[in-house]
Structure 1
Amino acid sequence: MSSTTEQSAPARRRTPLNRSQIAGFWGAWTGWTLDGMDSFIYALVLTPALTELLPRSGFAATSGNVGLAGSILFALFLVGWGLSFIWGPIADRFGRTRVLAATIFTFAIFTGLSAMAQNVWELASFRFIAGIGIGGEWALAGTYVAEAWPEDRRKMGAGLLQTGYYAGFFLAAALNYTIGVHFGWRAMFLTGAVPIVVAILILTRVKETEKWQAADAAKSHVKPLREILSPRYRRRTWVACALVTIAILGLWAGTVYEPTAVIQLAQHAGLGKGDATKTASWATGLLSIGTILGCLAVPIVAERIGRRKTAAIYFAGMAVSIVGSFGWAFYLPNGLAPFIAWLFVLGFFGGNFALFSLWLPEQFETRVRATAFAFCTSFGRFVGAGANFLLGAAVLHTHTLGLPVALTAVAFGIGLLIIPLAPETRGAELPQ
């Protein structure tokens, strides 16, 4: 009788997460989910809200005025997002968890107040301040997960975190399908006050990250905004700003006008107003599912082929899907079904935002990480605000949604030329 000795390599085990890391992730994920829900609520209730409020503000509720006012209000919302860079230096100075909770409080309270708006000026003010809170949540949630999770799990954590935003789209679509259809746009905004509970959870159950605590001693001498614009970080800061800006231009153009485009196509297909609204909700859900899958694929692809190649694939996919949906399917005689099918593809490649949750923290040290994340994302929102205003004017001038939105694909072509300038951080540990 013979015996054989088998030598096998020990199975790789992931570092277990402690209770605070788990609670912190789910707090950040839920906040980001409700953040996404809040952002997309506006796109879903745009037409009914402005149809009611424009006459109260002295304007006729024509389709042109609704489109122009919607673009202006969304541009103001993006400016609020842009001003959210203030949260970054605060978080680098006072910690991730408390400031993360503060961002959630801000957007929850002012989303709830949006339900009380009596004219477009009040709605614009509430959405502007809500935007400041919403804009800070991504930077703080992404920074927290990158620092709190073990090195062997933080990359997948970044992809999982980003799914929350698009789960929020799905949640907004579900709420619109139920609450919105039956109770109107004010009830939709009221649901946006729910995140206050998440903020309380974060304040009471989540510990500060060890990396931030370890770097705390040197913080009094650090001016993070000045440092990320210094010669040491200047190139990677501006390259990151450019890439995030392009992602925001393309994805927001598609997602903001997606419900309106679907409603128009559904009505052209003979559906009534209620059925068209429900179709828009289903289409939004499909878009969200595609994006969630795209987010989950990002860390896997990025670990195998690198950050820059992954960004190139996703940017190219965004360009093709924007042209396919808004430039081609939107103009077909029976374009509803092809347009909705393209939305799934658009959603998948819209998952490129998960790459920034993974990639940006890898490019900056702990003492300036939150500031860099917030600055790069906020810069893109400022540019996006101006581009969205121009896009609204183009829609009003051309009397069509398709062509102006389709032209945003050009931005992703420019992005393909910028990607090689970004640092490749595949295989590198998070800087201390």
Structure 2
Amino acid sequence: MEHGQLAVGARTRWYDGLTATHWRVLRASFLGWIFDGYEAIALVMVLGPMLHSVLSREQAASSTIYAGLVIGITLLGWGVGGLVGGILADYVGRKRMMLWSVFLYAIFSGLTAFSPTFWVLCGLRFVTGLAMGSEWSTGIALLSETWPEQARAKGAGFLQSGFGWGTLIAAVLWYALSSTHPLGTETWRLMFALGALPAFFVLYIRRGVNESEKWQRAVREKRWSATNVQPAEGEALLSGKRPFTLTQLFSEREALRRTLILLVLSIVTTVGWWAISSWLPTYTVSIAKAEGIPDALAWGSKISIVYTIGAIVAYLIAGFVVDAIGRRAFLSLTFVGALITTIITYKLTTSVEMMMVVAPINGFFTLGCAYVWMAIYPCELFTSSVRSTAISFVFNAARMIAWVFPIVAGSMIKSFGGVSHAALALGSVYLIGIVLPWFLPETRGAGMPD
């Protein structure tokens, strides 16, 4: 194990020792993660006009169910693609998977703009998710294995903020497009076409990123153990022929325990966002309409912008907070905040003015803090030979399980008679997230396992 304990002088700054190579890794991973954020929120924001364009008259009668279906299928594609890509990154390298992920994302996201029917749209959303799924885990693995200990959590937080910046760009762009309607009712198609174009620029940047030496060394020295914990009685010490990385997460007792707890926490985060907070723009528009506000639809974009700003603030400060209070306390407090803000948002907020105050706080917890821990904590619990597999499984298996919840939420909204009742019912999932972190080891200051 490489102990990250540092003899820190009184005037040592967290970024001392960072080189141009470190910043280049962050920049390349950050820019790629922007597209994931852009795609996630763009799909939610254009949902109304998009479904109006591709649904038949009969399908439109159950629009909330079809809305949940297209979101769920996108999540499923992300989950499958992320899991497969994360595993491959432990075999062929982080850099190669990052390049393929961005390239294929650009192709299929652009094709989404030409979807003629709902089922073609779903198919393209699924394939886009397959392509983009491994983007996150490969970037996180590469940064965590190259950045020094005192800066790693901060760098991971900055990388994760790319998701927030991507959602902010999408919110601002859709606000501009929906105000001008350059293609009339088909303006939503521009969101996917414009979102795909910059990906080709990122491909150029990523060519200059080096492969992880920590991963290369682990493979070269045939260090196959999934954690730095000594094997339990009856477990063999792995050497020689390399086992399948995904199997390792379930065949080693300590790895299995960590994997399952992290997976449940990831499901809590994923369900919380996709089945609750992703409905915030729609819910805000309904409040605006109830208040008789002109151009009520514009409030969906406004709320998305301030919600995302709250998340970005969380991303940028999370690395400093988690290093100060520890990983487990950060996680538990995150879900306390998410639960409280969900109740305030969907039970106590009755005007768009109040929503403008509540939404960024909601975004701080349910999108910012609730996702950034996955960029920092799981990397510290698994070794280099399985790290990409582990973090991609934790992140993407949750999507593969939680993809049904947007569909369930769509049905619940119809059955319960509104977004607020469904959101409050599903918000109880945050209670699990408050308790579970305390069953994991604290890794603050312990360094990265080899």
TM-score, L = length of structure 2: 0.88
Aligned ranges 1:377-392 → 2 under 5 Å? 377-392=395-410
- Code of the residue aligned with 2:149 in structure 1: it is E
Kindly provide the amino acid, as one letter, of the partner of residue 170 in structure 1: L
Stretch deviating more after TM superposition (189-198 or 371-380): 189-198
Aligned-pair distance for 1:314?
0.7
Counterparts in 2 of 1:5-24, with a 5 A limit?
11-13=11-13, 14-24=15-25
CA contact (8 A) 2:331 2:373 kept: yes
Change (3 A) 1:327 1:107: farther
Return the match for 2:303 from 276, 283, 286: 283
Note the C-alpha offset of 1:203: 4.1
- Where do 1:21-60 residues align within 5 Å? 21-55=22-56, 59-60=58-59
- Aligned ranges 1:133-172 → 2 under 5 Å: 133-172=131-170
- 1:346-361 map, 5 Å: 346-350=362-366, 351-352=368-369, 353-361=371-379
Residue of structure 2 aligned with 1:210, choices 209, 213, 222: 213
Q: Hey, what does 2:111 align to over in structure 1?
A: 113
Task: Give the corresponding residue for 2:430.
Answer: 412
Q: What amino acid maps onto 1:346 in structure 2?
A: N
Deviation string 1:171-214 (CA, Å, 9 cap, x unpaired) is: 01111011244231011111121243244224421111121221
Q: Hey, what's the Cα distance between the residues in 2 that align with 1:98 and 1:202?
A: 13
Secondary structure of residue in 1 paired with 2:385:
helix
Shifted more, 421-430 versus 212-221: the winner is: 212-221
**Structure 1 residues 268 and 22, CA gap change in structure 2 (3 angstroms):** same
Question: Can you give the 5+ residue segments of structure 1 that lack an aligned partner in the other structure?
Answer: 1-8
Q: Are 2:332 and 2:435, in contact at CA under 8 Å, matched by a contact in 1?
A: no
For residues 154-187 of structure 1, what are the alpha-carbon distances to aligned partners after superposition, in whole Å with 9 as ceiling and x for unaligned? 1100111111101111101111011244231011
Paired AA for residue 209 in structure 2: V
Do residues 81 (structure 1) and 78 (structure 2) align?
A: yes
Change (3 A) 1:180 1:27: farther
CA distance in 2, matches of 1:11, 1:256: 43
| Residue 341 of structure 2 is aligned to residue 340 of structure 1 | no
* 1:311 lines up with 2:331 in the alignment: yes
Mapped pair 1:96 → 2:94: yes
Of residues 373-382 and 200-209 in structure 1, the stretch that sits farther from structure 2 once superposed is 200-209
Secondary structure of 1:117's aligned partner: coil
The CA deviation at 1:246 is 0.3
Check the 8 A contact 2:275/2:405 in 1, yes or no.
no
TM-score by structure 1 length?
Answer: 0.92
Structure 1, 359-368 or 419-428: larger mean CA deviation: 419-428
Q: What is the aligned partner in structure 2 of residue 428 from structure 1?
A: 446
Q: Is the 8 A contact 1:81 1:134 kept in 2?
A: yes
**Residue 145 of structure 2 aligns to a residue in which SS?**
helix
CA contact (8 A) 2:34 2:163 kept: yes
Q: What RMSD, in angstroms, separates the aligned Cα atoms of the two structures? A: 1.8
What do residues 34-90 of structure 1 show as CA deviations (whole Å, max 9, x unaligned)? 2101111110100101111112xx63423xx22110101111111112202001110
* 2:249 corresponds to: 228
Which amino acid counterpart does residue 242 of structure 2 have in structure 1? H
**Residues 324 and 134 of structure 1: CA distance in aligned 2, closer, same or farther (over 3 Å):** farther
Q: 1:193 aligns with which of 192, 196, 207?
A: 196
Structure 2 unpaired stretches of 5+ = 1-8, 225-240
Compute the displacement of 1:17 (Å).
3.0
- Whether the 8 Å contact between 2:113 and 2:189 is mirrored in structure 1 is yes
What CA distance in whole angstroms lies between the structure 2 residues aligned with 1:423 and 1:261? Answer: 39
Larger displacement relative to structure 2 (394-403 or 210-219)? 210-219
Q: How many residues align?
A: 415
1:66 aligns with 2:69: no
Cα distance in 2, alignment partners of residues 254 and 201 from structure 1: 37
Q: Which amino acid aligns with 1:429?
A: G
Matching residue's letter, 1:408: L
CA distance in 2, matches of 1:430, 1:209: 14
**SS across alignment from 1:257:** helix
User: More deviation in 176-185 or 120-129?
Assistant: 176-185
Task: Give me the whole-angstrom Cα distance separating, in 2, the residues matched to 1:26 and 1:203.
Answer: 9
Aligned partner of residue 149 in structure 2, secondary structure: coil
CA contact (8 A) 2:114 2:189 kept: yes
Deviation at 1:297, TM superposition (A): 2.6
Partner SS, residue 267 of structure 1: helix
Q: Which amino acid aligns with 1:67?
A: T
Question: Which residue does the alignment assign to 1:3?
Answer: none
Contact 1:250 1:411 (C-alpha < 8 Å) held by counterparts: yes
